[in-house]
Structure 1
Amino acid sequence: MKATLNQYRQSPRKVRLVINSIRGKSVERALAELKFIPKRASGTIEKLIKSAVSNAETNSGKAKENLFIKEIRVDEGVTLKRMMPMSKGRAFRINKRTSHITLELGDKQESKKTNKQESKKTTKQDKKNKDVKDLPVKSEKKPTKVVKKEKVLKKK
C-alpha cells in the first residue's frame, strides 16, 4: 500500500512543513486537515494519499476507514541549476530543487494484531529468563583520589 511521487518541483523543506502535520494520522483525518493547510504542497499530497488509498482498496481489498499513514517522507530529488543574469556581466546560480515523496499506508487492525503477538513473545521470553538479569559492567580500575594541596602564603 505504497504511493510515490518523484521529481515534484518544490523544495523538500517546504513540502516537509505539510507532511509533518499529517504523519501518523488516519487517512480521513489527514485528508480533512490538508484542505485547510494554505500551502501549495497540500493539494499534491492530498492526491498522493487518494492514490495510495485507491491502491489499497483495489490490490489488497482494505477499507478506507481502517487505513492510517504509517510512513511518509520527503527526500531530495534532482536539482536543476539555472543562471540568473546580473549587472556588469555577472551571472548567479539559481537552484530549482525537486522532491521525492514516499507514502506508505498501514491497516489499524493488522497493527493491533502484530503488537499483541510481539507482547506475547516477550512475556514468554521473560518467564524463561527469570533469573538472568542484565547488570552494568563494572570496570576493574579503582577510582583515583584527588588530593588538594593548600597553598601557604609566606610573608617576606
Structure 2
Amino acid sequence: MEAKAYLRHLRIAPRKVQIVLDLIRNQPAAKAMAILKATPKAASEPLQKLLKSAMANAENNHNMDKDNLYVAECFVCPGPIMKRIRPRAQGRAFRVLKRTSHVTMVLKEKE
C-alpha cells in the first residue's frame, strides 16, 4: 500500500527542488520532516506541506500507521516554462525562462 501526494506548478526550478528531494529520499517520514525544517532552501517549505499532505493521505485514505511511514519515492519533473522578456541595450530583448516544477511524493509503510 502506498500514499501519494502531488505538487503542481511550483515556481521553483526543478534542479533546485531536486537538491532538497535527494536529502529526504528513503528516510522515515518524521526524520524527513525534521530535515526539511532544518534545510535553508526555498524549496523546503513547499515540500514540507507536500509531505504533510502525503502523511494525511496515508493516515486518512489508506489507514496506514503514521509512525511506520517512509519516503519511498520522491521526484520532480519540469512543468510549463513561463517566457518573459528582459529589455537590453540598443532596443534588443533577451528572453528570461521562469521554470516551474511538478513534484510527486510516495510514502509507504515499513513491514
Distance 2:37 2:72 in 1: 20
Please identify the structure whose Cα radius of gyration is greater. 1
**TM-score normalised by the chain length of structure 2:** 0.96
Which whole-Å CA distance do the structure 1 matches of 2:65 and 2:48 have between them?
18
What is aligned with 2:86? 84
- The residue that corresponds to 1:14 in the other structure is 16
C-alpha separation between the residues in 2 aligned to 1:61 and 1:70?
A: 17
Quote the Cα distance in structure 2 between the aligned partners of 1:14 and 1:33.
Answer: 16
| Alignment map for 1:7-156 (pairs within 5 Å) | 7-109=9-111
- The one-letter amino acid paired with 1:65 is D
Q: Tell me the number of residue pairs that the alignment of Structure 1 and Structure 2 aligns.
A: 109
CA drift at 1:41: 0.5
* Unaligned runs of at least 5 residues, structure 1: 110-156
Deviation at 1:93, TM superposition (A): 0.2
Q: Looking at both structures, which has the greater relative contact order when contacts are Cα pairs under 8 Å and sequence separation is at least 6? A: 2
| Whole-angstrom CA distance in 2 between matches of 1:98 and 1:13 | 10
Structure with more of its chain in strand, by fraction = 2
How much does 1:63 deviate? 1.4
SS in 2 for 1:61: coil
CA distance in 2, matches of 1:21, 1:53: 18
| Identical-residue share of aligned pairs (%) | 46
For normalisation by structure 1, the TM-score amounts to 0.69
Q: Which digits, 9 at most, give the CA deviation of each residue in 1:104-133, with x for residues without a partner?
A: 001101xxxxxxxxxxxxxxxxxxxxxxxx
After the TM superposition, which parts of structure 1 deviate over 2 Å for at least 4 consecutive aligned residues? none
Letter in 2 for 1:73: F
